[in-house]
Amino acid sequence: MTSPKRAGPGARSALPEPLRVFDPVNDWKCTTCGTGEGLLFLEGQSALCLACADLDHLVFLPRGDAALSRRARVHSRLCAVVLRFSRARKQYERQGLLVEPQALERAEAECEADEGARALRRERDEVRRAGEDKALILDMTAALLRLFPACPPHDAASLAGHTAVRGSGRVGRSAAGRALDDEALTLAAVAWIRHRRTDYDDLLMSGMDRADARERIRGAVDRVLEAWRAAGGTAS
């Protein structure tokens, strides 16, 4: 993943092509010093070890972390891609990069800072959502009490809390529930009353069909709604 700021194709093409260094599959010998260890660099027809090619101060960064690789390349004045021939796929494959150690350090620091910023943002979002939830529950409780003046406040709060739970798919999370629409609130109240004030759940547990169970408790639900609507027990 690249950071958004550097994701543009323009920024990408602005990076110079890295040198190419090979992780040799066969035995080889450095043209200059005669060793045959490690990676090799091709200078014309000559194979050079990294020391003789003046690349031995670079550090290897394995491929796999695109953001880190990208940043390390940006910060490294000298950079080489490490290629290894795959006999199975008959092609050279990138193993990673050789970059300056300070470039890698800087790239790592930037990625960590990004990670920290992301974590911080996540945390802030969670706090904000929790606050929204609380505000939504308070608003919904107030709206319920307007709609059902005789509803015991703690029942209204329970209903609002139950209905507003994020991600629950209950009416409280729907657009209408957020807008505190009377019909949505009534539906939420009916659902709550069913479970809390009738034997609906027991009927379901006994194997009764959901429609039949709802029919059976309809009267009980209506009585609770009626009682809640009557302000102070008198008709308003």
Footprint of Zn ion on this chain (CB under 5 A)?
30, 32-33, 49, 52
| Least CB distance to Zn ion at residue 127 (A) | 58
Is the CB of 2 or the CB of 32 nearer to Zn ion?
32
Torsion of CA 152, 154, 156, 157, to 10 degrees: 170
Give the CA count within 13 Å in the CB-facing half-sphere of 72. Answer: 26
The distance of closest approach from Cβ of residue 51 to Zn ion in the complex, given in angstroms and rounded to an integer, is: 5
Nearer to Zn ion, 48 or 136 (CB): 48
First vs last Cα of the chain: how many Å apart?
63
Q: How many residues does the chain have?
A: 236
Name the β-bridge partners of 99: 59
Q: Are 53 and 17 in contact (CB under 8 A)?
A: no
Measured from the CB atom, is 56 or 115 closer to Zn ion?
A: 56
Shortest separation between residue 126's beta carbon and Zn ion, angstroms: 56
CB of 54 vs Zn ion, minimal distance in Å: 10
User: Cβ closer to Zn ion: 55 or 145?
Assistant: 55
Q: From the CB of 32, what's the least distance to Zn ion, in Å?
A: 5
For Zn ion, give the closer residue by CB, 37 or 182. 37
